[in-house]
Amino acid sequence: MKPNQTVVFELCTTLKSSYEDSLGNRRNSIRSLGLGAEAIMLYEDEDGDSYIRTIRYVKSHKSPFKDIQDEDLDPNVKLWRIMSKPQFTDGILAVNPTQKNLLEFLRNHPANEQNQHWGLDGQKAMFRERNPAKIAQELNKKNKQVINASRFVYDSDFLTKIVPIAEYLGFSTDKESDLVLWDVDTYARANPERFIELLDSPIISRYSDAKLAVKRGVIRVMGQQVSWADGRQILDTPLNKEPLEHLAEVSFDNNYATVWKEITRLINKTSTPAEDANTITKGASSASEKLSEIDTEELMIELKKEKIISWEAPFFLIDGKQIKGKDNLTQYVEKNKKALAARLL
């Protein structure tokens, strides 16, 4: 800031007003405010010791500190005549740099936003010193967050990252991918920090799996209760929580580790552990290799018959994955041909 530039203090936008004009219109935020001429501050000396000190705005005095003023004030002058209450008009108070007394009073005032770390009883931020460089810095930081969040939307894997986040946020994913991306991008631009947190959150994929478990009939939700398909209770959800979101969160606890492992197994496989064990026979390996030699299209038909591949618009579901488009599905089956063929044994 230039030495002779006017210093502007502005009211905090969080301050609300009860003002109502003659037409009944109520202001959203306060516009005018008169500060008391005297206040208590937390003063720190050169040795780093802190103690309470009173500041007082007296126009005729060079210092705002009451203990210094008392030494010089004329006892014949009524104090109330020379004390002043700084007044904010239309949300601001402009101070000429020559008014050093007023500047020091405002900068050391307990209602100044920069002094809220003092923790004095009843202390509340009411105004701040306007700093154009700081404002620009904060705006640049926010703009960078918005740009980065939007870039992450389009750079992240659609099926494994964007779709689970969209489901977690309550957006429909039963539509074209561009529309899903638009929904998520709109959210990311409005909530860049929150979106980036969700992008790396392990809860998101668990929530997506929990929704898939409901679709496949592995679990069901009745009110605030999550149960197995046969009615056995898994957990009760607090009233302020969404059931599947709560299940995703507690799935990381040791108490629910076994439950989640079983949910995952039932999502990905239709066989029981005992049936899996029976497939490990002497000829299993050779039979698997033989099946893997068949045409990919034929293998896909068999996998669909056994419901290893299913369809839930707009995705094919296989091994807990959502694959869009037949070409992508064919590539996946071709890549995992041997392992998928073994599932048919």
Q: Distance of alpha carbon 148 from its chain centroid, rounded? A: 15
Q: What is the pLDDT of residue 282?
A: 42
Whether 313 maps to a domain, the answer reads yes
* CA triple 173-178-183, angle to 5 deg: 60
Of 105, 130, 155, the position where a domain reaches its end is: 130
Return the bridge partners of 88, or none. 33
Q: What is the pLDDT of residue 284?
A: 47
Of 92, 111, 130, the position where a domain reaches its end is: 130
Whether 233 maps to a domain, the answer reads no
Are residue 111 and residue 153 in the same domain, yes or no? Answer: no
Are residue 93 and residue 19 in the same domain, yes or no? Answer: yes
pLDDT digit string (tens) for the chain, length 345 residues: 556 688 999 988 666 656 565 666 655 556 788 898 999 999 988 888 889 999 999 888 888 998 888 776 666 666 666 788 899 988 899 999 899 999 999 999 999 998 998 989 889 999 999 887 777 888 898 899 999 999 999 999 898 889 889 988 989 888 899 999 999 999 999 999 999 988 888 888 889 889 889 988 899 999 999 999 888 999 999 988 899 999 999 999 988 988 999 999 888 875 555 555 555 444 445 545 555 567 788 888 888 888 888 888 788 888 878 888 888 888 888 888 888 887 776
Whether 46 maps to a domain, the answer reads yes
Are residue 37 and residue 148 in the same domain, yes or no? Answer: no
3-state secondary structure of 62: coil
* CA triple 184-190-196, angle to 5 deg: 65
How many other CB atoms sit within 10 Å of the CB of residue 266?
17
Contact 73, 79 (CB under 8 A): yes
Q: Distance of alpha carbon 11 from its chain centroid, rounded? A: 27
Q: What is the pLDDT of residue 292?
A: 54
Contact 3, 98 (CB under 8 A): no
Q: What is the pLDDT of residue 8?
A: 92
Q: What is the pLDDT of residue 247?
A: 93
Cα 237 from Cα 285, distance rounded (Å): 45
Return the bridge partners of 38, or none. 56
Between helix 132-155 and helix 177-190 the angle, nearest 10°, is 160
Domain containing 34 equals 7-130
DSSP 129: E
